[in-house]
Structure 1
């Protein structure tokens, strides 16, 4: 569990980061969850671009991704969300929060 200070630091890092994953539609399936989980293991902080004409709001998508991957919600706006999960992979470069 991260605190508000850590969340602010991660939010600032996410604003500077490039998008890691782009979702093509509002459906989040097993393939998308696997891709996001792999990206979290590799980068820890993942920025996800949402479809522009999504019928589902970004908070709902953020909560679904966090519940499925064990990630922490960092930020959500209309077009992008960011999630964080500390990597358990050996040799991973960890983000210092």
Structure 2
């Protein structure tokens, strides 16, 4: 569980990120979750875009992804969501939380 101060710090880092995944009409599938998990291990902080054709909001998508992958939902605004999970391997850790 991350604190409010840590969440604010991560939001600041996420401002400059581009969305690297999109959730469409197919929703959240197993292959999508596998790719997100691999990206979290390499990047720790990722932004995902939810298309209008999706049957869910960004907040609902964030909750589903976080429940299945054990990550933290940092932000869900409009059609974008940001999630964070510390990398398991120390070599992949890039973010030092305050």
CA RMSD in angstroms comes to 1.4
Unaligned runs of 5+ in 1: none
- Aligned partners of 1:26 and 1:56 also within 8 Å: no
Q: Distance in 2 between matches of 1:86 and 1:32?
A: 19
Unaligned runs of 5+ in 2: none
Give the strand-richer structure, 1 or 2: 2
Measure how far apart 1:94 and its partner are.
Answer: 2.3
User: Is 1:68 aligned with 2:92?
Assistant: no
Write out per-residue CA displacement over residues 6-44 of structure 1, whole angstroms, 9 at most, x where no aligned residue: 000101111111212222335101011111100000000
Aligned pair count? 97
User: Is 1:19 aligned with 2:19?
Assistant: yes
Report the TM-score, using the length of structure 2 for normalisation: 0.90
Report the TM-score, using the length of structure 1 for normalisation: 0.91
